[in-house]
Structure 1
Amino acid sequence: MKNILLVCAAGMSTSMLVRKMEQAAEEKDEEIKIKATGGGDIKKYIDDANVLLLGPQIAYKKESYTKEFGGPEGIPVDIINMVDYGTMNGKKVLDFALELINK
């Protein structure tokens, strides 16, 4: 099972995106767990994550999250495309996450 963790300022807007991503995952017939949280709760969920995606509103945290959770021994950390995030394009965000996991 692949685990995707989405993080935004409070975890609210990404919760809507999670539902769209789950629908896209069902269409792919893949076992994927997707969780959305606010920045303060990352450590509760990061141990199970295969990728960490940041909402555009916290893009400025990419460097610090990459240092803490990414790198050679960690998981991929990247920013969700602003247009995909704004339009809640779950399929594109899911594909992006899977691409990062499979690198």
Structure 2
Amino acid sequence: MSSSVLVTNMQDAAIEMNMLVEIEALGRDEFSQISTAYDVILLAPQIRYQKERFEKMTHHEIPITIIDSVAYGMLDGQKVLQQAIDVIKNKN
């Protein structure tokens, strides 16, 4: 439930920043459905231990990062959105 609230807060932050983004929350069991169409994948702090597994599943083609635990706990959509933007910028 907290992931879906965080997604909503991130979408609200994107609107405030006049950004057009697509943000989805998927369960870890749905990860196999991830395509290379994503610019970044953010993992909830509680599944950080699976990061390496997910990187292998995406053949390291998509940057994967762990959401800041404080921002996640506070459902801070603006901070998590900025984290995603920073990862995308640093990818290039």
Query: Which structure 1 residue ranges, 5 or more long, are not aligned?
Result: 1-11
Secondary structure at the aligned position of 2:26 is classed as: strand
Bigger share in strand? 1
Q: Work out the CA distance in 1 between the residues paired with 2:53 and 2:3.
A: 20
Matched with 1:43 is: 32
Give the distance between the partners of 1:66 and 1:98, measured in 2 at CA: 19
Task: Tell me the distance in 2 between the aligned counterparts of 1:69 and 1:45.
Answer: 8
Cα RMSD (Å): 1.3
Q: Which runs of structure 2 are paired with 1:1-103 in the superposition (5 Å)?
A: 12-69=1-58, 71=60, 74-103=61-90
- C-alpha contact (below 8 Å) 2:40/2:87 kept by paired residues: yes
C-alpha distance in 2 between matches for 1:46 and 1:24: 25
Question: Alpha-carbon deviation of 1:13?
Answer: 2.1
The TM-score normalised by the length of structure 2 is: 0.89
Q: TM-score, normalised by structure 1?
A: 0.81
Distance 1:96 1:81 in 2: 8
Q: Which runs of 4+ in 1 moved over 6 A?
A: none
Give the Å deviation of 1:65.
1.0
Cα distance, 1:49 vs structure 2: 1.1
Question: Percent same amino acid at aligned positions?
Answer: 39
Per the alignment, do residues 63 and 45 of structure 1 end up closer, same or farther by CA in structure 2, a change over 3 Å counting?
A: closer
Please list every run of 5 or more consecutive structure 2 residues that lacks an aligned counterpart in the other structure.
none
**Alpha-carbon contact 2:32-2:57 (below 8 Å) kept:** no
| Deviation sequence 1:66-102 (CA, Å, 0-9, x none) | 222252xx01101001100000000000000011111
- Residue 43 of structure 1: CA displacement? 2.8
